[in-house]
Amino acid sequence: MKKALVFPGQGAQFPGMGKTLYEQSGLARAMFAQADEILGFEISALMFEGTEDDLRRTSVTQPAIYIHSVVSARVNDMDKQVQAAAGHSLGEFSALATAGVLAFEDGLRLVAIRANAMQKACDLQVSTMAAVLGLEDEIVEEVCASITDDIVVPANYNTVGQLVISGTKTGIAKAMELLKERGASRVIELAVNGAFHSPLMESARIELAEGISATPFSDAQIPVYQNVTAKPHTSSAEIRANLLAQLTAPVRWTQTVRALAADGVTDFVECGPGKVLSGLIKKVDRQLNTEQLG
């Protein structure tokens, strides 16, 4: 029996996140204090006492989820209990910190750079995302490719029958109509102000590249299945390249879960806020076991 640790991405945040860890663990309190100092504001106060609107700001959301996730893994000594790790989008940074690739503080600095760079990219171009339910991936890919006068691409392969597309506002509107015609059970525009994991994030990718090149990376102590390839990596050079490519490439989560299962992983521990990934994993394969560590 093999166990993998998985980490959620943006959208998993909630008011009060991380507060129980803070109250119960001296290690957690030290890590939250370190995070406040690195970021230059009391993100811990926003996490514990802030509103949903406070936590929805990208500059807060991404660091908050990273902090909660890594603190939870460290407090529970999960790095010593698993044989693999993976994270959904932002969650990949949490996976890398837990696998010994990034120091906690270095990962946090990179996440802050990423969040701010992504917000700037969103401000440059009116763009959005939409969830497509009930269609085979190949049909969604075909529809995206058929729109040649706008940018529309597959962004998140979340689970079987659920693929999120990303692009310009006009491009997404065209795709939504075509996907309904092709038989999608639902196509829902998401409440986001940007086209994550698309070519429209290129300016953010360039900005993040500077941060990644200046940050020390170590080889992974356990294999990390990365979003871009859905394959295990331990080489710090490969991990750097894949982490950077992730900003403009799709998150292959369905393929990642299948790859982990094919390599013998039967138990998935979701570490951090929420339980979104556990639900997605069960839809990929009901035989897989999931549990959550908040």
Tokens of 34: 């370190």
Annotated catalytic, 89? yes
Each residue's pLDDT tens digit, 205-252: 999 999 999 999 999 999 999 999 999 999 999 999 999 999 999 999
pTM higher than the cut 0.85: yes
pLDDT computed for residue 125 by the predictor? 85
Q: Which of 89, 94, 198, 278 is catalytic?
A: 89
d(CA 59, CA 61): 6
Each residue's pLDDT tens digit, 63-89: 999 999 999 999 998 888 899 999 999
Q: Residues 246-275: what's their mean pLDDT?
A: 97
Q: Any idea where the domains of the chain sit in the sequence?
A: 2-122+199-293, 126-189
Classify domain 2-122+199-293 by CATH architecture.
Answer: 3-Layer(aba) Sandwich (3.40)
Reported as type and span, the H/E element at residue 120 is helix 104-124
pLDDT computed for residue 183 by the predictor? 95
Is pLDDT at 11 greater than 90 in this prediction?
Answer: no
Q: Which one of 3.30.70.250, 3.30.420.40, 3.30.70.260, 3.40.50.740 gives the CATH number of domain 126-189?
A: 3.30.70.250
Burial class (CB in 10 A: 0-12, 13-18, 19+), 138: exposed
d(CA 172, CA 187): 10
Q: Which of 88, 197, 233, 278 is catalytic?
A: 197
Computed over every residue of the chain, the mean pLDDT equals 95
Is pLDDT at 1 greater than 80 in this prediction?
Answer: no
Annotated catalytic, 233? no
Each residue's pLDDT tens digit, 85-105: 999 999 999 999 999 999 999
d(CA 273, CA 250): 22
Residue with tokens 């696998």: 99
How many percent of the chain have pLDDT more than 90?
90
Is pLDDT at 9 greater than 90 in this prediction?
Answer: yes
Q: Positive or negative CA dihedral for 131, 134, 140, 144?
A: negative
Each residue's pLDDT tens digit, 25-60: 999 999 999 999 999 999 999 999 999 988 988 889
Residue with tokens 């556990």: 278
End-to-end Cα spacing for the chain? 23
Taking Cα atoms as reference points, which of 61, 65, 83 lies closest to residue 3?
Answer: 83
pLDDT computed for residue 42 by the predictor? 96
Tokens of 6: 């998985």
